[in-house]
Chains A and B, each alone.
Chain A
Amino acid sequence: MNQNDCFVTINNVTKKFGAFKALDDISFSIQQGEIFGYIGPNGAGKTTTMKILVGLISNFQGEITIGSLRLPKDKDEIHKLLGYLPQSVAFQDWRTIDHALTTFGKLSGLNETQVKDRIPKVLELIGLADVRHKKVSHLSGGMMQKVGLAQALLHEPKLLVLDEPLGGLDPLSRHQFKGIVEKLAKEGATILFSSHILSDVQDVADRIGIISHGRIKQVGTIDDLKTRLVRQKTVEVMLSGASDNWQKLSAVQNVSEVTQPQPGILLLNLKSGADEDQAINDVVAKVVELGIRIRGVWMLEPSLDQIYFNYVSEAEN
Chain B
Amino acid sequence: MKLGLLFKDELLGFYKSKVMIFLWIGLPVIALLFRFVSGVSSGQEISFTMISAILVSSIGGTLAAVMLSVSIINENNRRVYDLFLIRPLKRRDIVLAKFLAVYLCVAIAGFLAVLVGTLVDFATTGTLSSIVLSDAGQSLATTLSMIAVSCAAGTLIGVASPSVVVGAILVIFGNNQISVIPLIPTLLELPQPEALTIVISAAMAMGLLAGAVVLFNRKQF
Contact = CB atoms under 8 A, between A and B. Distances in A.
**A contacts with B: majority SS:** loop
Given A56-B221, A90-B78, A103-B5, A84 B86 contact: yes
A107 B84 contact: yes
A86 B9 contact: no
Contacts of B79: 86, 88, 90
B17 A90 contact: no
A103 B97 CA distance: 14
B31 to A, nearest CB: 28
Interface in A61-96: 76-77, 79-80, 82, 84, 86, 88-95
A89 B79 CA distance: 8
Interface size class of A (residues with CB under 8 A): 20 to 34
Contacts of A57: 220-221
A54 B88 CA distance: 11
Contacts of A84: 82-83, 86
Interface string A92-130: 111100010001101111000000000000000000000
Interface in B75-93: 75, 78-80, 82-89
A128 B75 CA distance: 25
Contact of B83 (A59, A109, A151): A151
Given A57-B221, A58-B220, A94-B13, A108 B87 contact: yes
Nearest to B84: A107
A173 B201 CA distance: 54
23 contacts: A51-B221, A54-B86, A55-B85, A57-B221, A59-B220, A76-B88, A77-B88, A79-B86, A82-B86, A84-B82, A84-B83, A86-B82, A86-B83, A88-B79, A89-B83, A90-B79, A90-B82, A91-B80, A91-B83, A92-B75, A94-B16, A104-B83, A107-B87
Interface of B: 2, 5, 9, 12-13, 16-17, 75, 78-80, 82-89, 220-221
